[in-house]
Each structure stands twice: as C-alpha cells, then as structure tokens.
C-alpha cells in the first residue's frame, strides 16, 4: 500500500506575485544580483559568518548605516527536545574526533577542544532550563537610485560588516527572494540560518542603538552638524534641525551649565553650511562670534542706535501691512508698559495708532506705505490731544519713553538695517527695565527680514535668555506665534533659557516646547528637576544624569516618530573654543597673548632679527 504524505503549510510555495499584488511596486525587474523596484535598485546580502565573541549591541554600526539599508532578523526557536538531541550528536562527533586523534598520538587541536567545551556547556545550560537554541537568519538589503551609487553603498555595507568580523555574501540568482526576506512580511524566503543560543541572540538586542543615525539628504550625503560625542558610546552625535518636522529648538539649563556655549557652537557650524542667522543677545555673548565671522552687531542702547516700532515692512502678496503693524504695536506697547491692556486701553490705542499713521500720510492705500513712518512721540501727542481719561493715562505712561530717560532707545527713526549672514542684537547696554520691549522690537525686525527675504534659504533665529520675554504675557504670545509660523519661511527658532518655570509654568510656554522638534536639556537644579521630568517624560536614569551632568553635557530629545534620547558632551576645536567661550580667565589670557604679540610686532629690534628664524616664527603664529 502506498501512502501519500499530506502536504503541510511549510510545503506551500510562496508566490511573489501574490505577495506584491496589493502593496507592491508597479514593476519589478529581476537581475542576477540586483532588482529594479519601481524607480530604484536594490541588492540583498546574506550574513553567512559571525564573530566568535560579541558584546551587547554589536550590530549598532550596521543599524546606524547612513544609507538606505533594510535589515531583517528572522528568529525561529528550536524545541528543547530537538536541541538536546542535536547537541548530543554534536558532542559525540566532537568527542569521537578527540579520542581518535589521541589514540593516534596526535596533539590536541585547540579549536576542537574549545568547540567540545562549548557544546558541553551549552548542553548543560539547556538541560537546566537556563537557555534555548534558535535558528537565526540575518539579511541586508541596500537601496540606491542608480547602479553606480548602489555599488558604492554595497561596498560600504561590506566594509562595515567586515569591521564587525561578519561574513556576507550576495544573493546571486536569488535577488527576488532576498528582497522579500527583508520586507515586513515575516517570511524567510532564503532560509540561510545559523544556530544561536539565548546569550548570543540577546547580544543582538536591543535592535535599536543609543547612537543617532547620521542624517542624510535625498542623494545619501550626510547633513547636519556635530553636536558632540555620545556619552555612552563616544560616537559623534550629528543632528540636522532642518530635516525635522519643524526647525525649532528649546534649550533648558541652570546658569553656568553651558547652554549658550553649545548654542554658539551649533550656530558657528551652521554658518559654514550656508545657513544665515539672527541672534537676540542680552549679555553680548555672541558679539565676538559675529565679529570673527564678519557678521553685523547692532548694540541697542548705544548712542544713536534705535529701532522705530512704527516701521512698516515691504508688502508681499497683497497683505495688509498697516493692519498687521497696528496689531503688533498693541503687543509692543503692552510689553513696554509692563501690563496687559484692558479692552478700553486697546480701543483708545487702536484709534490713536491709526490717527498717528494718518497724520504721517499713511492710510489703507498701499501707495502710502512707503512714506516716512511716525515715531512714538507722535502717538503721545495724539493721545494727549484726545483728552479722555484713558488716553491721558496712556500718554503719561509713555512719557519716559518719549521725552524721559528711555527716549533715546525708542523715540525716533531706525538707525540701521538688518542685512548679512549673521546679525546680532546686543542688549547688554540697555537698562534691565527696557530689555523685554527691546527684545520684542529686535525680534520683530528679524521677523520682517525673514518674511521679506529676496532669496529663500535656511535661517536660524536665536533668542537667548528667553525668560526675559516669556515673563511678559504679550511677549510670550508673540514668541509662540513666531514658533508656529517660522517653518513656513524655512526658519528655525532656537529658544534658550535658564528659568524653566517661565517656560513650563504657562500654557504658552508649554506650547512653545511642544512646537520644538529639537529639545536640549543640560544640568538642572534639584528644585526644577521634577517639573522637567514630568514635562519631558524622563526616566530615572535620565533624571539623575541631568542632576549630575558636567558643564557641556546634555540630553538631546528628538522630535521624530521614534522619540529618541541621546546624552552627549559638547566638543569644540581650539579655534572654535577661542571664538565662542566666555570664560573670563581664558579671555584674559587671550587678550594678554594678543597684546604681547602686538608689542613684539612693534619692537624695532625685530627689523634686525635673523632672517632664518622668520619661517619658524610664522609657522608658530599659524599654530
């Protein structure tokens, strides 16, 4: 009698056409080692050999490969009974070989001895239930746009694999099954497997790495700038804020933790990539950087330096510039007067502002918007002539800024233009009482420049010590609107502050944080760590890291889907450090060195110096 074996599910043939019918590409062209999938090419590599010893996370270099690489790890557990029987046969085979060699007087083979010892140890661990065996297959599919790039990417993947002592082979004449094995179907179409025990398999996990993947553009070229070195692995942390959903960032730290240093370091490196920038600098920390790179420094509070809040931007696309300007002046005057305006104040101000512009010949007619704008003194005159109680109150409160001690900062025409690849508004010379309205005026001037640029390009707006503006309700609302609209103009807003309460205690502050795809936390004070932990959903280890972080150490929280967190330490080259540091001791030594060099250059004895020493001196100066 002939018995026919019943077909099982494992005997079924996989039809690639059925698999790809619903979600597959429009066409697949199969070659010996490559596939043409729609508009790009793919090639699959099979891992055929593994290193003898590995450490946890040893697959991280492959996972962080900067190109388009799909990695599939297929795991099939082996029942303990099958594993024990297989190990028993393997041990018997190894022991038989050892005894045969011993009987013939041969020397022991180290590899055979090690394999026998490993098999015995593994058999005892499986018998005690301390481990299991698994069949594991690892496949790598490389994608590229054209054959030349694909060949380069495959060679790069091979190089990374060889550095890990991993042997890989192409899927020659099995390109389609190789590609299918790396798709999210969970089907091993190649079945090229190796046996792993629990400890060896655990070394492959977690299948994510503490290192950030290198950001790349559409052509596969690396982008972004260096933030520092990973605190766990020492790998460089590269980040591209302009490759995220939005380009904003928030930096929170206690005083002296290095937040401004890290921001200046990123700013300097972004400038080398062609990004333009504008900075609100309350403490003149960015002045040396701007002077070094040929930027423009606008020292508000210095003699003759002034921003006229009544300036009208150039109209673009038929927008109502006058109405927008009047609305901004409501915000500016609320910050200037240090209080939120009541409805009665807003009504009086609205009429007075329109009348002030009308007296300067500026009306709703766009042809009048190029005329010379009025000044703050003209608004005070209109309010005084109104005669009402509210108008008189507002005029009296404007007196210090029109004819009093602060008139030089706010009353009069603007005395500068915001142009250049780096513009720094230095506010250190301003009194503390008027820094918040001056920051708002500077931000408005920057925003007008950003929204009316003749040529589009990446731009970064840095607001240092943002707590000065966040503590004002109107200022926080302006900053929030800027954070929401910056992305439309290819602009990122970088908010830096040392007072977490001013940012996290208000709904507007939390909204600014939620609209920042790049979040950087440096060392925190114990009094603020609970609020930071709750807002950013930090683990216990991350909380302790922020409490004990050294100067320059930070936690980067990414705003992408994976929501990764990476601890890093800022690193700067000596030349970069000399430009961005504010360390008084270092700056004093630098000034002394420059003075000594100038004195040596002016010494008449140098005219009679040995000409043979000129080359050494010049080389030493370049160092």
Most confident of 33-42, 501-510, 559-568: 33-42
Residue 601 has pLDDT above 50, yes or no: yes
Cα angle: 356, vertex 358, 364; to 5 degrees: 125
Portion of the chain with pLDDT greater than 70, in percent: 88
Cα(567)–Cα(522) distance, integer angstroms: 10
Q: In the chain, what are the domain boundaries?
A: 25-202, 236-303+422-579, 321-402
Bond prior to 286 in cis (omega within 30° of 0) = no
> What average pLDDT does this structure show over 373-392?
91
Residue 9 has pLDDT above 50, yes or no: no
Kindly provide the b/e burial profile for residues 317-355, where b requires at least 16 CB atoms within 10 angstroms of the residue's own CB. Answer: eeeebbeebbebbebbbbbbbeeebeeebeebbeebbbb
pLDDT at residue 58, rounded to an integer: 82
Radius of gyration of the chain (CA): 34
First-to-last alpha carbon distance for the chain, in angstroms, is 93
Q: Alpha-carbon torsion 395, 396, 398, 403, what sign?
A: positive
Cα(601)–Cα(281) distance, integer angstroms: 35
Phi-psi group of 191: left, alpha or beta (phi > 0 → left; psi -120 to 50 → alpha; rest → beta): left
Most confident of 54-58, 109-113, 166-170, 234-238: 166-170
Residue 611 has pLDDT above 50, yes or no: no
Mind listing the pLDDT tens digit for each residue in 290-336? 999 999 999 988 888 888 999 988 777 677 889 989 999 999 999 99
CB 45 within 8 A of CB 168: yes
Mind listing the pLDDT tens digit for each residue in 116-156? 777 777 777 777 777 788 899 999 999 998 999 999 999 99
pLDDT band at 562 (very low <50, low <70, confident <90, very high): low
Mind listing the pLDDT tens digit for each residue in 441-450? 998 889 888 8
**For the domain with range 236-303+422-579, which CATH number is right: 1.10.3720.10, 3.30.70.260, 3.30.43.10, 3.40.50.300?**
3.40.50.300
Residue 139 β-bridge partners: 46, 72
pLDDT at residue 498, rounded to an integer: 85
Helix ranges (DSSP H) in 537-612: 540-548, 574-580, 584-602
């Amino acid at each position: 009698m002939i018995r026919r074996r019943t077909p099982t599910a494992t005997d079924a043939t996989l039809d690639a056409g059925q698999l790809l019918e619903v979600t597959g590409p429009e066409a697949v062209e199969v070659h010996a080692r490559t596939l043409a999938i729609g508009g790009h090419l793919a090639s699959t590599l099979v891992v055929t050999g593994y290193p003898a010893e590995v450490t946890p996370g040893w697959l991280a270099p492959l996972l962080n490969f900067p190109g388009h690489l799909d990695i599939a790890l297929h795991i099939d557990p082996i029942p303990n009974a099958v594993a024990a029987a297989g190990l028993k046969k393997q041990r018997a085979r190894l022991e038989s070989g050892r005894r045969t060699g011993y009987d013939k007087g041969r020397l022991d083979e180290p590899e055979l001895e090690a394999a026998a010892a490993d098999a015995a140890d593994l058999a005892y661990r499986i018998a005690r239930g301390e481990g299991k065996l698994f069949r594991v297959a690892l496949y790598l599919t490389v994608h590229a746009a054209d054959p030349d790039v694909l060949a380069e990417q495959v060679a790069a993947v091979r190089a990374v694999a060889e550095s890990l002592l991993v042997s890989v082979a192409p899927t020659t004449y099995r390109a389609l099954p190789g590609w299918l094995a790396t798709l999210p179907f969970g089907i091993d179409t190649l079945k090229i497997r190796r046996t792993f025990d629990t400890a060896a398999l655990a070394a492959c996990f977690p299948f994510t790495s503490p290192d950030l993947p290198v950001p790349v553009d559409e052509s596969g070229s690396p982008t972004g700038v260096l933030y520092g070195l990973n605190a766990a692995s020492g790998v460089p942390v590269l980040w591209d804020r302009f490759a995220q959903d939005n380009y904003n960032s928030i930096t929170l730290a206690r005083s002296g933790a290095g937040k401004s240093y890290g921001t200046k370091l990123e700013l300097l490196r972004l400038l080398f990539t062609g990004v333009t920038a504008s900075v609100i600098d309350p403490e003149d920390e960015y002045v040396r950087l701007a002077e070094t790179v040929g930027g423009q420094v606008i020292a508000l509070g210095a003699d003759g330096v002034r921003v006229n809040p009544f300036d009208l931007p150039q109209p673009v696309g038929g927008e109502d510039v006058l109405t927008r300007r009047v609305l901004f002046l409501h915000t500016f005057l609320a910050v200037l007067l240090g209080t939120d305006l009541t409805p009665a104040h807003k009504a009086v101000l609205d009429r007075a502002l329109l009348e002030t512009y009308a007296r300067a010949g500026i009306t709703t007619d766009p042809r009048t918007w190029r005329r010379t704008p009025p000044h703050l003194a003209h608004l005070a005159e209109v309010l005084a002539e109104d005669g009402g109680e509210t108008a008189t109150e507002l005029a009296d409160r404007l007196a210090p800024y029109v004819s009093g001690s602060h008139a030089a900062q706010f009353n009069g025409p603007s005395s500068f233009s915001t142009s250049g690849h780096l513009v720094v508004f230095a506010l250190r010379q301003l009194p503390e009482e008027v820094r918040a309205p001056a920051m708002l005026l500077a931000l408005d001037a920057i925003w007008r420049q950003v929204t009316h640029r003749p040529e589009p390009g990446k731009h970064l707006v840095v607001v240092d010590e943002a707590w000065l503006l966040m503590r004002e309700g109107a200022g926080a609302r302006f900053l929030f609107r800027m954070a929401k609209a910056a992305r439309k103009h290819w602009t990122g807003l970088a908010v830096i502050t040392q007072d977490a309460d001013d940012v996290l205690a208000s709904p507007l502050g939390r909204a600014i944080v939620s609209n920042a795809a790049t979040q950087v936390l440096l060392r925190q004070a114990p009094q603020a760590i609970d609020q930071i932990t709750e807002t950013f959903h930090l683990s216990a280890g991350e909380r302790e890291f922020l409490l004990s972080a050294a100067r320059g150490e930070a936690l980067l929280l990414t705003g992408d889907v994976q929501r990764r967190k990476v601890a890093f330490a800022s690193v700067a080259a000596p030349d970069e450090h000399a430009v961005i540091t504010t360390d008084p001791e270092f700056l004093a030594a630098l000034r002394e060195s420059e003075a000594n060099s100038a004195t040596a250059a002016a010494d008449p004895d140098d005219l009679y110096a040995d000409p043979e020493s000129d080359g050494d001196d010049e080389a030493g100066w370049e160092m």
